[in-house]
Structure 1
Amino acid sequence: MNTSRRQFLGQTGALTASALAASLGRWGIESASAQAPTDYKALVCVFLFGGNDSNNMVIPYDDYGSYAAVRTNVNIPQAQLLQISPPRAGATFGLHPSFAAIKPLFDTGKLAVICNSGPLLAPITQADYRAGNFRPSNLFSHNDQQSAWQGLLDGMAVRSGWGGRMSDRIDAVNAGATVPTVVSAAGSTLMTQGLSVGPFVIPQTGGVTLTGAGTDTLGRVRADGVRRLLGAPSGNSIVDKAANVLTTALTTADAINPILNATSPAIATAFTGLTTSIANQLKQVARLIEGRSVLGAKRQFFFVSLGGFDTHSNELFVQGNLLGQLAPALKAFYDATVALGVSEKVTAFTMSDFSRTFVFNSTFGTDHAWGAHHLVLGGAVRGGDFYGRYPTLAVRGPDDAGNNGAWIPTTAVDQIGATLATWLGVSSADLGYIFPNIGRFATADLGFIS
């Protein structure tokens, strides 16, 4: 049976490579404010899907009694906490015991904590919240709050995320690169979608290939046939546009596959013994960073993820297991950047749907909340400290949105993102395009990175 070019492109949903071409626009956008840098920098977003309970990730040590009195069935024993003394907080806190791998990075100033952060339209008080002033829409909903953290466009049909919009503005500095500015090892997500720039999606292991196009003779014949079919004119501009995007994806795959499939002693050593999904994703990112000179990119944005944090039941076990996967993977990734000589040029940060209620439920879990603590990791981070205000852990207290310990954020996602974007090289003139609420906050730079 003969297959026309149009029919073929209509069937490419079965092709792995088609997922890489996330938008029908070309990879880049020209930005008048973009200036070609001579160095390399990258941001790595680590999204914790489901809503990580950061109340059990960063715990008051000095005031442990107040914490344990409320969380009687979901508390971490004080003796197990990894003690830290952030100067800005003026008190001793404890990290979750599963963070043993990265606690030394806090001690040596490579890891910082952003306190009580979340999607905000403007600074909001408890009185504002109760009056309905400046209250973001659809709080406590997984899909909506994932969209809020990633898109920052409240109450709208969001088509782009701030990682993608950031890449819209910096993509021009990567002119001539053989890899796009935005790369995801966790599928195509809102965070990575710009208005003109789309993500290039890579698998968690190995290179990027067409389904059925292996290295055997038949696989090579299939791949060659696909490329010849893509090169044939269709007479339809939309079909031709789609073909060009897929062709670009295949060309990019040809460039990065030798790097993704290579054996790197430095990266292999850093990730020794780690086989979890999050470790594999970060290992792929490390490989592309190692190949930065060959690929030609000067600025990049990467996305990885870890799911399972919706701990409505059995939280202590479930979260402990997940954080036990996250921490060693982050440590391995940081060690890899050190070995590659780019630890001060690569910054990783966490995000999640929301934190969880301070009050536990009847199934030894917690429910959906709002403000959350997050991590920023890298050689350029001013670590060993807290940024933003740690909330008052009091049910119905001054930071509670209701009566179960859902903290009202005091640090906006826009501020976290603007701080990271400025470090990456985004101009102040472009911050409003990327972070639509940033002008309503007193500062766009939280100071956690140099």
Structure 2
Amino acid sequence: QLITTTPEFNSNNLAYKTGKKRVPTTPAPAAPVPYKAIVVLALNGGLDSFNVLTPHKSCPLYKSYAKERDDVKLEPDEMLMIDASSSENQPCTSFGVHHKIPIFKEIYEEGLGIFFANTGHLSKPVTKRNYFTETMTQLFSHNTMTQESYIVDAFQINEPTGILGRMLDVLAAKNITVGPIGISTASTILDGDPQTGRKVDVIPTYGPNILTRRSFIPNTANGIDEVKENLEDLNGETGVNSGIHANYWSQNLIDTWNKADELSVLLQSVQLGTRFSGNLGQKFATVSKLIKTHEQRGVNRDAFFVSMGGFDAHAYAKANLDGNLPVVNSAIKAFYREMTDSNMIDNITFVMTSEFGRTITGNSGGGTDHAWGGNYFLFGGMMRGGRILGEYPKSFGNNDPTNMGRGRLIPTTSWDALWYGVAQWFGIDTPDELKDVLPNNGNFGCRLYTDSDLYHDGKNSISGCGAKLMNFDMGMFIGEPRYLTGIEQKRICEAAIQLVSGETDLASRCVIIDQKVIVNFEEKDFDSFAWNEGEESRRLRVLQNGFTNSTNNTYELRAVVEINVGNSTNNNSTNITTQSISPGKIGNAIADNLLTLVKIPNVTEFSEISPYTPTPSRTPSAQPTLSSAPSGMPSVVPSSSPSDMPSRSPSGAPSDVPSRSPSDMPSDVPSRSPSDMPSSSPSDIPSRSPTDVPSVVPSRSPTDMPSGMPSNSPSDVPSADMPSDAPSRSPSDMPSSSPSDIPSRSPT
């Protein structure tokens, strides 16, 4: 078996030995910076995370959750309440954590844990209408979505690297010593640029394996002395005329052999104060030992990857979590205790992920199926915890803007948004470094979380955000019915950013938030075109298949461009203003330069640049409109606030909020509260002020002023201090305090 260790066997090169022993590579010395580590736990298979973080029974949203989840819902006694009142824009002030993972509640309530709600892979912000055409991946696939969660590079600009690997590349370039370590398995998330030559260390669950005689000859003694000399000779120093691949193999073998021996001895010397149990627990025990020995290892930044499978619950979803979550809870609890007791908790960020969430609606087998957005958990000693970030769904019904059907939720927070602030905390400082680590972060505008959002010691903001937000329509004539590709969208935005920065000395961010294809048909073709609003992908196929051959058709692509203009790109600039910036000016400048700068295929000219103005829908919508103008059709969903415009016809139901202006037509339903204005016709409810028309129903209390009309029935209470101008229609049971013009029926 010794032949399998030779450079000739493992490369196509000849190795010319010098006769000298090969010396292990000396590690670079650690830089004088504080130690930090990121620990990722991937729960593979698709965690049913809407049963990990649920609406609490005290929240009205629980009814929607329980209705849609049905048999797979958490019952009220299966959740642990957490307070979310300090979390912004969440539908509940109280949420529930699955009772089988109480460590999440404990860390959250200690102020060190953050939930990220409805998070997942995105190429850009999308809606139910455009997600299919704007998402650059194969949704709902285990392999694809796992890779997307590891690389966090939607357009694969830096393929085949991972999010942690790119962080370590940037830090290593700044002479910070780094350690990418997979526990029992390698992962794309740790892979950096292959040109750096940096290797990922894969350490078994219980610690590093060491090379022994038994590695070559089974059932023999473990001593290495008999084969050590042979191994060193076979992989000795080579001369300059040897192949580089042969030299690389031998050096890598000697370095790994030496490192494994040293690390094995080092970790055996570490005593842990916490008991770790089970396979996952032992993985975190090894991570704990590595963190506690960072000084001896000479490492400034560690990135650890740990995984556990078994969460693909197409059947018995509740039983799946009941069985798996206690294992996760035990491992995280022991790790959290060990880090806290050893005063290392401030130096770590723990990130729990899964490739995707699962359907809200269960299947016939009591399970759930592959979906998209999910809920994930982060913790660390410097975290501004006790909060839920992102946007938890406001409903679980099909009318919710994020629900694609069957409870497959479109993420409202991207992996880019989660990792942005973590990368800044880890030492990725500048916009250029962040672009290397998160090449698609610009496609989310200012929809990102900085280290200031996540950590107590955070100090960074998002370059290009904070001063002015503008949207404008960009129209262009195109030779075929198609949308801009993701790369073309990014090129347009790069041109816009360059123009803004060049003219104003201001940083900016840009994203194309919507696209529409407008087709001008030949009249003979129009009747055959089926217009199905909302089915963008189908409509585009109809256009491409049915009308491409019509020479007189024209196609106009209209894109809604969002520009954020923020802080200065020049820190010495003191006279910065955004007043001269306008959507039209930026848009026209882009149009003037785009045909030559960006070179989008088939774009012949730009049709129009104009400020973006949302328009009301022509048909009832399941979502409220962005427009302030009244719609010609009623909304499927009631408005949460009164309209500035009166309704064109009376409503069939009373309004909870009084109208800001009177209706042109009377309502068939009475108001729920009295009006401050007198009625022009009899009302079943008394007026707050006297009217010239008698009330149909007697007043329950005296009026403040005398009425000009007699009452239809005697009052139970005498009038106020002023006499009435009209006689009573029936005698009073109370004597008068002054003479009357009408005789009394009884003596006074």
Q: Does the pair score TM above 0.5?
A: yes
| Residues 426/69 of structure 1: CA separation in 2 closer, same or farther (3 Å cut) | same
Q: How far off is 1:263 after superposition?
A: 4.4
SS at match of 1:335: helix
Q: How far off is 1:363 after superposition?
A: 1.1
- Residue 277 of structure 1 corresponds to 279
Q: Aligned equivalents of 1:2 and 1:310: distance in 2? A: 42
SS at match of 2:39: strand
* TM-score, normalised by the number of residues in structure 1: 0.87
Q: Aligned equivalents of 1:27 and 1:310: distance in 2? A: 44
Is the counterpart of residue 253 in structure 1 residue 253 in structure 2?
no
Determine if contact 1:60/1:93 at 8 Å carries over to the other structure.
Answer: yes
Higher relative contact order (CA 8 A, sep 6+): 1
- Residue 436 of structure 2 corresponds to 433
- Residue 101 of structure 1 corresponds to 103
Q: Aligned equivalents of 2:399 and 2:8: distance in 1? A: 61
Q: Aligned equivalents of 2:366 and 2:26: distance in 1? A: 47
Is the counterpart of residue 445 in structure 1 residue 449 in structure 2?
yes
Determine if contact 2:209/2:260 at 8 Å carries over to the other structure.
Answer: yes
Aligned residue type for 2:188: L
Question: CA-to-partner distance for each residue in 1:88-143, whole Å, 9 max, x for gaps?
Answer: 135110000111233211111111101111111111122222xx342231010000
- Residue 221 of structure 1 corresponds to 226
Q: How far off is 1:186 after superposition?
A: 3.5
Q: Aligned equivalents of 1:337 and 1:259: distance in 2? A: 18
Determine if contact 1:173/1:299 at 8 Å carries over to the other structure.
Answer: no
Sequence identity (%): 27
- Residue 574 of structure 2 corresponds to none
The match for 1:389 among 391, 407, 410 is: 391
Q: How far off is 1:431 after superposition?
A: 1.0
- Residue 291 of structure 1 corresponds to 293
Question: CA-to-partner distance for each residue in 1:272-311, whole Å, 9 max, x for gaps?
Answer: 2x42222111111110111111111111111111111111
Q: Aligned equivalents of 2:228 and 2:317: distance in 1? A: 47
Uncovered stretches (5+) of structure 1, i.e. residues with no partner: 11-25, 30-34
- Residue 321 of structure 2 corresponds to 319
Q: How far off is 1:350 after superposition?
A: 0.9
- Residue 408 of structure 1 corresponds to 410
- Residue 188 of structure 2 corresponds to 190
SS at match of 1:354: coil
The match for 2:53 among 58, 66, 74 is: 58
Query: Which one has the bigger helix percentage?
Result: 1
* TM-score, normalised by the number of residues in structure 2: 0.53
Q: Aligned equivalents of 2:237 and 2:363: distance in 1? A: 61
Aligned residue type for 2:397: V
Q: Aligned equivalents of 1:395 and 1:389: distance in 2? A: 16
Residue-pair matches, total: 421
- Residue 69 of structure 1 corresponds to 67
Is the counterpart of residue 79 in structure 1 residue 77 in structure 2?
yes
Q: How far off is 1:426 after superposition?
A: 1.2
Question: CA-to-partner distance for each residue in 1:252-283, whole Å, 9 max, x for gaps?
Answer: 2233212322341xx2x32x2x4222211111
Determine if contact 2:280/2:331 at 8 Å carries over to the other structure.
Answer: yes
Q: Aligned equivalents of 2:384 and 2:225: distance in 1? A: 50
Is the counterpart of residue 150 in structure 1 residue 150 in structure 2?
yes
Q: Aligned equivalents of 1:373 and 1:262: distance in 2? A: 38
- Residue 351 of structure 2 corresponds to 349
Determine if contact 2:139/2:372 at 8 Å carries over to the other structure.
Answer: yes
Determine if contact 1:110/1:378 at 8 Å carries over to the other structure.
Answer: yes
| Residues 333/224 of structure 1: CA separation in 2 closer, same or farther (3 Å cut) | farther
The range that moved more, 421-430 or 41-50, is 421-430
| Residues 378/306 of structure 1: CA separation in 2 closer, same or farther (3 Å cut) | same
Q: How far off is 1:27 after superposition?
A: 12
Q: Aligned equivalents of 2:42 and 2:205: distance in 1? A: 15
- Residue 15 of structure 1 corresponds to none
| Residues 407/109 of structure 1: CA separation in 2 closer, same or farther (3 Å cut) | same
Q: How far off is 1:386 after superposition?
A: 0.4
Determine if contact 1:28/1:168 at 8 Å carries over to the other structure.
Answer: no
Q: How far off is 1:170 after superposition?
A: 1.1
| Residues 396/299 of structure 1: CA separation in 2 closer, same or farther (3 Å cut) | same
Aligned residue type for 2:253: L
Superposition pairs for residues 24-39 of structure 1, below 5 Å?
36-39=31-34
Q: How far off is 1:401 after superposition?
A: 4.8
Q: Aligned equivalents of 1:306 and 1:210: distance in 2? A: 27
SS at match of 2:72: coil
Superposition pairs for residues 224-235 of structure 1, below 5 Å?
224-233=229-238, 235=242
Q: Aligned equivalents of 1:233 and 1:393: distance in 2? A: 67
Aligned residue type for 2:149: W
Aligned residue type for 2:345: S
Q: How far off is 1:232 after superposition?
A: 4.6
SS at match of 2:135: coil
Q: Aligned equivalents of 1:158 and 1:366: distance in 2? A: 32
Determine if contact 1:185/1:281 at 8 Å carries over to the other structure.
Answer: yes
- Residue 248 of structure 2 corresponds to 241
- Residue 332 of structure 1 corresponds to 334
Determine if contact 1:213/1:222 at 8 Å carries over to the other structure.
Answer: no
| Residues 227/119 of structure 1: CA separation in 2 closer, same or farther (3 Å cut) | farther
SS at match of 2:117: strand
Aligned residue type for 2:416: D
SS at match of 1:73: helix
Q: Aligned equivalents of 2:26 and 2:68: distance in 1? A: 50
- Residue 23 of structure 1 corresponds to none
Determine if contact 1:394/1:405 at 8 Å carries over to the other structure.
Answer: yes
The range that moved more, 226-235 or 240-249, is 226-235
Q: Aligned equivalents of 2:136 and 2:109: distance in 1? A: 36
- Residue 160 of structure 1 corresponds to 161
Aligned residue type for 2:63: G
Q: Aligned equivalents of 2:416 and 2:384: distance in 1? A: 19
Determine if contact 1:116/1:391 at 8 Å carries over to the other structure.
Answer: yes
Aligned residue type for 1:230: N
Q: Aligned equivalents of 2:400 and 2:68: distance in 1? A: 16
Aligned residue type for 2:436: Y
Aligned residue type for 2:147: S
| Residues 79/239 of structure 1: CA separation in 2 closer, same or farther (3 Å cut) | same
Aligned residue type for 1:168: D
Determine if contact 1:57/1:95 at 8 Å carries over to the other structure.
Answer: yes
Aligned residue type for 2:82: I
Q: Aligned equivalents of 2:302 and 2:399: distance in 1? A: 42
Q: Aligned equivalents of 1:80 and 1:174: distance in 2? A: 50
- Residue 584 of structure 2 corresponds to none
Q: How far off is 1:154 after superposition?
A: 3.2
Q: How far off is 1:174 after superposition?
A: 6.1
Aligned residue type for 1:5: T
Aligned residue type for 1:79: D
SS at match of 2:38: strand
Q: Aligned equivalents of 1:213 and 1:224: distance in 2? A: 15
Q: Aligned equivalents of 1:324 and 1:403: distance in 2? A: 31
Determine if contact 1:371/1:406 at 8 Å carries over to the other structure.
Answer: yes
Superposition pairs for residues 104-183 of structure 1, below 5 Å?
104-129=106-131, 132-154=132-154, 156=156, 158-172=159-173, 181-183=179-181
| Residues 110/36 of structure 1: CA separation in 2 closer, same or farther (3 Å cut) | same
Q: Aligned equivalents of 1:393 and 1:71: distance in 2? A: 12
- Residue 20 of structure 1 corresponds to none
- Residue 203 of structure 1 corresponds to 204
Q: Who wins on radius of gyration, i.e. which is larger?
A: 2
